[in-house]
């Protein structure tokens, strides 16, 4: 398949069947208190309860499980310091394959530990994109390992779509789905999945104002590849790829940006009222609901809580 190929609904269905034995079918939670507060019916898809604590395990598992025995034997490689690194490490281990994870040398110790805990081979590099790509390139030349990008990958996108697929199958009368946009893998897969199931459903992207490359790209119709993000939502620092830009431009019904204050406020609301731990990136969707009450009033809204990995020694409230 070529580099800009785009999954269709059947790819999501196939991914769902393929990864089912490996992933949790995460619960969908509601809170009558939050429903009252936001004057909407909110259904939270709890990917914070997914293995490795984030939806990323879906895409990584789908991509790894499509590799041949020969490819698995040569191993996998990615550069990431976040949830994709942990997800790929566990997905590889589940198939007996080796994962090489290129991480910036200044990555937090807790992230290094998590990835090492899944048995990955960590290779450190300078904290910039060129060093990351160069180091990954060296590993590929040495080992023949297969590179699995965190979001610019057909099979990763198809895998990420299975969260929304499960959510809408559990709650077929949802009218809207909101989820966060970083590199765009989650919402690309989500849009393909839920519009395949229910063409009339609205799919809405949520982005921090401090990392609004997708908002600007989509609203202007012109792909923006560089930005200097500044947000607490550390899972949403990446920019769209040309592929996710194409998918989201076609399939998102709207995209909203939200303030840091609103992200932190909504994160605290979920912790306090729902008694679950979500990372800041997960709170961005609820912040969109908070900042745009007219859009969501009285609606049945699915919200994808993307993950729950946060340093408990560094809580922003």
Q: How many residues does the chain have?
A: 317
CA dihedral for 111, 93, 124, 140, sign (positive or negative) = negative
45, 51, 80, 81: the catalytic one is: 81
Q: Does 113 bind a second copy (CB under 8 A)?
A: no
Q: Which stretch binds a second copy (CB under 8 A): 126-134, 199-207, 233-241, 273-281?
A: 273-281
Q: Does 261 bind a second copy (CB under 8 A)?
A: no
Instruction: Enumerate residues 6+ apart whose C-beta is below 8 A from 139.
Output: 77, 100, 102, 123, 145
Q: Does 180 bind a second copy (CB under 8 A)?
A: no
28: phi then psi, degrees, rounded to nearest 5:
-110, 120
- Tell me how far, at minimum, the Cβ of 314 lies from a second copy, in Å: 11
Which stretches of 22-121 are DSSP H helices? 32-38, 56-65, 69-74, 83-94, 109-117
Q: Does 89 bind a second copy (CB under 8 A)?
A: no
Two tokens at 178? 């909101």
In whole angstroms, how far apart are CA 90 and each of 49, 97, 250?
A: 15, 10, 33
Q: Does 39 bind a second copy (CB under 8 A)?
A: no
Q: Among 271, 291, 295, 299, which residue sits at the site for a second copy (rule: CB under 8 A)?
A: 271
Of 156 and 278, the one with the shorter C-beta distance to a second copy is 278
Respond yes or no: is residue 81 known to be catalytic: yes
Two tokens at 59? 């895409």
Q: Among 16, 38, 44, 49, which residue sits at the site for a second copy (rule: CB under 8 A)?
A: 49
- Tell me how far, at minimum, the Cβ of 109 lies from a second copy, in Å: 14
Q: Which residues bind a second copy (CB under 8 A)?
A: 27, 29, 48-49, 53, 268, 271-272, 274-278, 308, 312-313, 315, 317
């Amino acid at each position: 398949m070529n580099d800009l190929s785009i999954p269709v609904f059947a790819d999501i269905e196939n991914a769902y069947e393929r990864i089912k034995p490996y992933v949790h079918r995460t619960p969908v939670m509601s809170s009558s208190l939050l429903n009252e507060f936001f004057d909407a019916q909110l259904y939270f898809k709890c990917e914070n309860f997914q293995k490795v604590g984030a939806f990323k395990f879906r895409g990584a598992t789908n991509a790894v499980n499509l590799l041949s025995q020969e490819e698995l034997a040569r191993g996998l490689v990615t550069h990431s310091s976040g949830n994709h690194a942990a997800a790929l490490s566990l997905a590889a281990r589940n198939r007996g394959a080796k994962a090489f994870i290129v991480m910036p040398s200044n990555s937090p110790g807790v992230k290094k530990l998590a990835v090492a805990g899944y048995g990955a081979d960590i290779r450190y590099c300078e904290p910039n994109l060129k060093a990351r790509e160069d180091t990954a390139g060296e590993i590929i030349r040495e080992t023949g390992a297969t590179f699995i990008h965190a979001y610019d990958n057909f099979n990763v996108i198809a895998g990420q779509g299975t969260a929304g697929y499960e959510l809408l199958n559990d709650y077929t009368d949802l009218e809207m789905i909101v989820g966060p946009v970083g590199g765009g893998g989650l919402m690309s897969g989500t849009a393909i999945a839920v519009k395949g199931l229910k063409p009339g459903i609205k799919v809405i992207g949520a982005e921090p104002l401090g990392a609004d490359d997708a908002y600007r790209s989509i609203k202007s119709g012109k792909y923006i590849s560089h930005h200097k993000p500044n947000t607490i939502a550390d899972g949403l620092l990446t920019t769209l790829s040309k592929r996710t830009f194409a998918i989201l431009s076609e399939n998102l019904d709207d995209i909203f940006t939200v303030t840091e204050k609103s992200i932190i406020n909504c994160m605290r609301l979920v912790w306090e009222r729902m008694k679950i731990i979500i990372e800041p990136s997960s709170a961005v969707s609820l912040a969109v609901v908070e900042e745009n009450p007219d859009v969501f009033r009285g609606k049945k809204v699915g919200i994808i809580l993307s993950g729950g990995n946060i340093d408990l020694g560094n809580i922003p409230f």
